[in-house]
Amino acid sequence: MTYEAKLTVKFDSKFTHSPYSSHETDTLPEEHYTFEVPVDDLTSTQVFALFKKVMLTMGYCEKSIASGVMSTVFNPDGDENLMRKMCEEYDLTMNEDVAKKVQEEVKKQLEIEKELAQVKKGPMGTVLEDTPGTPGSYRKLYQENLDLKAKLSRLENPDSPSYTDEEIDAMCSEDEQANKLYEV
């Protein structure tokens, strides 16, 4: 026994030109599109890809299409468990969880700063001099601290088009360490 199925989507449009306007001459008077695909083994991703093509043909922009798809999952009446699964799968953070993530990053940063303070002290609580060229746990912890500050800064300013001071410090520190490795 064989199974055959196909999905057909038709899009027809008609445009009537205004006799008083000259800028409408680049629009076609009629358009007819037919999309036909076999759906024997079509996945849901492929179905959405088909409808994306149909919507692009209808004149929707990619952002509007993506917004519509996201609203099918992330709408106020949707299943919160499904939303959380999708967030986990695509590495997204729900607005309600941002404050919690920032607090976790702050706690990590404070723990690292405590460890750094302990590393800088000698055996009797005396403060050791920094020796920047010495490899070891101090440099590793210092770099982790800078990286966490950069991540925290990016979490606090996710829409920032430019790098924050913390991100620049982290990148500069990595470059300085790399340069010291290659110095003669």
Q: Is it the case that residue 21 has pLDDT exceeding 90?
A: no
| Structure token pair of residue 23 | 């800028």
Q: Shortest CA distance to 84 belongs to which of 67, 96, 102, 101?
A: 96
Average pLDDT, the chain: 78
CA distances from 49 to 32, 33, 56, 69 (A): 20, 16, 11, 11
Whole-Å CA distances, 41 to 9, 24, 50 = 18, 43, 14
Q: Are 59 and 33 in contact (CB under 8 A)?
A: no
pLDDT band per the 50, 70, 90 thresholds, residue 96: confident
Q: Can you give the residue ranges of every domain in the chain?
A: 6-89, 95-182
Predicted confidence (pLDDT) per residue in 34-57, tens digit:
999 988 888 888 989 999 999 998
The model's pTM = 0.48
Higher pLDDT, 167 or 177: 167
Q: Is there a contact between 109 and 144 (Cβ–Cβ < 8 Å)?
A: no
pLDDT tens digits, 147-171: 787 777 777 777 777 777 776 777 6
pLDDT of residue 52: 93
Q: Scanning the structure block, which residue is given the tokens 């010291």?
A: 180
Hey, how many other C-beta atoms are within 10 angstroms of the C-beta on 24? Answer: 13
Phi–psi pair at 90, nearest 5 degrees: -105, 15
- Calculate the dihedral angle through the C-alpha atoms of 42, 47, 53, 54, rounding to the nearest 10 degrees: 120
Q: Identity (one letter) of the amino acid at 7? A: L
